[in-house]
């Protein structure tokens, strides 16, 4: 029998709920529309902590004018059912006026140069909005651990940098991307895809896998193999396909051997999708 989590909608609700949690606490931050990828985050968090707090907050700061804030799926009852099934202790589901009581904050966390490339180049200011809300939620929840998905690799890197550079007393833990059996990375935005769009979207994960299969041969082979898959799918409008260092997000040179991140972003139909695979470039004995 599953137990229902305590649901807090305000800071005043959250404070006693958080104080009642004995032992270690992990947080999983979401914007709602939970799926199996979120469930895996929660399950992984439960293995590391005595309690899990899930935040459900559709953060307006990370959406630019013209992006999909107004149509982002909201499925709170279903989200709560998943949290109950996965033994979440507390769900914090505030409204924007609770998180930002004075309106849009005049002071925000800057993502710096790392927030201006890749996703940041296509979505200016996006990561400032992400880091600002993550900082606020870390202050409000006071967790020992924070779990984030590898699918949002740039976000994960920036959150780790913020926690390190600003001395947040929390350990950030990455959880591998959860995929459908055909390879499509799970995302709340997948609900926007038509059946035809979904077939097109599979080219992203196939391109990443094709690149990964050439990792022993070096960066040029990885890039070439991934690109060849994408050029065969003209309905996937590619924003970027890059092979970068996972810590600097700088393109790796041809001579490079070591850890790398193969990342792609593309528009399929009306939906912008991202995906990535961590790789080890070069023969195993060079690692």
Task: Tell whether 210 and 80 lie within a shared domain.
Answer: no
What strand order describes the sheet that includes 258-268? 236-244, 258-268, 271-281
Q: What is the pLDDT of residue 68?
A: 76
- Predicted confidence (pLDDT) per residue in 134-145, tens digit: 999 999 999 999
Q: How far apart are CA 188 and CA 74, in angstroms?
A: 10
Q: What is the pLDDT of residue 1?
A: 54
Mean pLDDT (the chain) is 95
pLDDT at 215 over 50: yes
- Residue 27 neighbours by CB under 8 Å, 6+ apart: 45, 52, 53, 54, 55, 137, 138, 141, 143, 145, 146, 147
- End position of a domain, from candidates 146, 175, 204: 175
pLDDT at 238 over 50: yes
pLDDT at 7 over 50: yes
Residue 209 is labelled as binding a ligand: no
- Predicted confidence (pLDDT) per residue in 153-194, tens digit: 999 999 999 999 999 999 999 999 999 999 999 999 999 999
Residue 287 lies in a domain: no
Residue 236 is labelled as binding a ligand: no
Name the domain count of the chain: 2
pTM: 0.95
pLDDT at 287 over 60: no
CA distances to 27, 59, 141, 163 from 15, rounded to whole Å, are: 15, 21, 8, 22
Sign of CA dihedral 45, 51, 54, 55: negative
Task: Tell whether 150 and 78 lie within a shared domain.
Answer: yes
Pairing, β 51-56 against β 90-92: parallel
Task: Tell whether 222 and 127 lie within a shared domain.
Answer: no
List the domain range (segments joined by +) for residue 231: 188-279
Task: Tell whether 170 and 199 lie within a shared domain.
Answer: no
pLDDT at 129 over 90: yes
Question: Would you give the distance in Å from CA 158 to the centre of its chain?
Answer: 11
Residue 182 lies in a domain: no
Q: What is the mean pLDDT of residues 189-218?
A: 97
Task: Tell whether 115 and 159 lie within a shared domain.
Answer: yes
Residue 229 is labelled as binding a ligand: no
Residue 135 lies in a domain: yes
Q: How far apart are CA 2 and CA 80, in angstroms?
A: 12
Task: Tell whether 62 and 130 lie within a shared domain.
Answer: yes
Task: Tell whether 43 and 86 lie within a shared domain.
Answer: yes
Task: Tell whether 49 and 131 lie within a shared domain.
Answer: yes
Sign of CA dihedral 144, 5, 176, 57: negative
- End position of a domain, from candidates 120, 144, 175: 175
Q: What is the mean pLDDT of residues 254-269?
A: 97
Tokens matching residue 156? 């994960």
Share of the chain above pLDDT 90, in %: 93
Residue 37 is labelled as binding a ligand: yes
Residue 1 lies in a domain: no
- Predicted confidence (pLDDT) per residue in 40-81, tens digit: 999 999 999 999 999 999 999 999 877 778 888 899 999 999
What strand order describes the sheet that includes 25-30? 6-8, 90-92, 51-56, 25-30, 145-149, 171-175
Residue 211 is labelled as binding a ligand: no
List the beta strands (DSSP E) in the chain.
6-8, 25-30, 51-56, 90-92, 145-149, 171-175, 236-244, 258-268, 271-281
Element (H, E) at 9: none
The more confidently predicted of residues 72 and 30 is 30
Q: First CA to last CA across the chain, in angstroms? A: 47
Residue 70 lies in a domain: yes
Report yes or no: 89 and 5 within 8 Å, Cβ to Cβ. Answer: yes
Residue 140 is labelled as binding a ligand: no
Annotated catalytic residue within 38, 51, 126, 285 = 38
**DSSP symbol at 96:** H
Tokens matching residue 147? 């779990």
- Tokens 């935040």 belong to which residue? 55
Residue 285 is labelled as binding a ligand: no
Which CATH number covers residue 271?
Answer: 3.30.1300.10
Nearest to 81 by CA among 48, 47, 149, 32: 32
Q: Is 38 a catalytic residue?
A: yes
Task: Tell whether 83 and 167 lie within a shared domain.
Answer: yes
Q: How far apart are CA 155 and CA 214, in angstroms?
A: 26
Residue 155 is labelled as binding a ligand: yes
Q: How far apart are CA 240 and CA 265, in angstroms?
A: 5
pLDDT band at 24 (very low <50, low <70, confident <90, very high): very high
Which CATH number covers residue 105?
Answer: 3.40.50.620
Q: How far apart are CA 183 and CA 178, in angstroms?
A: 9
- Residue 88 neighbours by CB under 8 Å, 6+ apart: 5, 42, 52, 53, 54
Q: What is the mean pLDDT of residues 209-216?
A: 98
């Amino acid at each position: 029998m599953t137990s229902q989590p305590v649901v807090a909608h305000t800071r005043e609700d959250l404070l006693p709920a958080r104080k009642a949690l004995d032992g270690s606490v992990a947080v999983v931050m979401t914007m709602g529309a939970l799926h199996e990828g979120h469930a895996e985050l929660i399950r992984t968090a439960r293995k590391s902590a005595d309690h899990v707090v899930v935040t459900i907050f559709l953060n307006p700061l990370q959406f630019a004018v013209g992006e999909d804030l107004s149509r982002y799926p909201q499925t709170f009852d279903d989200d709560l059912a998943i949290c109950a099934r996965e033994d979440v202790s507390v769900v914090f589901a505030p409204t924007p006026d609770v998180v930002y009581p004075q309106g849009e904050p005049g002071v925000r966390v800057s993502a710096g140069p790392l927030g201006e490339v890749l996703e940041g180049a296509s979505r200016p200011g996006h990561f400032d909005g992400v880091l600002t809300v993550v900082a606020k939620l870390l202050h409000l929840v006071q967790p020992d651990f924070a779990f984030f998905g590898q699918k949002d690799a740039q976000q994960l890197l920036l959150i780790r940098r913020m926690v390190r550079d600003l001395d947040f007393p929390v350990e950030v833990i990455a959880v591998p991307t959860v995929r459908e059996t055909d390879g499509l990375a799970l995302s709340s935005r997948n609900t926007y895809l038509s059946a035809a769009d979904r077939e097109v979207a599979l080219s992203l994960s196939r391109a990443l896998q094709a690149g990964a299969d050439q990792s022993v041969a070096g960066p040029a082979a990885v890039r070439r193999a991934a690109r060849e898959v994408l050029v065969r799918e003209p309905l996937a409008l590619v924003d970027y396909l890059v092979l970068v260092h996972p810590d600097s997000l700088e393109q790796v040179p041809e001579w490079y051997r070591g850890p790398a991140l193969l990342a792609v972003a593309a528009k399929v139909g009306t939906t912008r999708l991202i995906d990535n695979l961590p790789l080890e470039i070069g023969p195993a004995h060079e690692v």
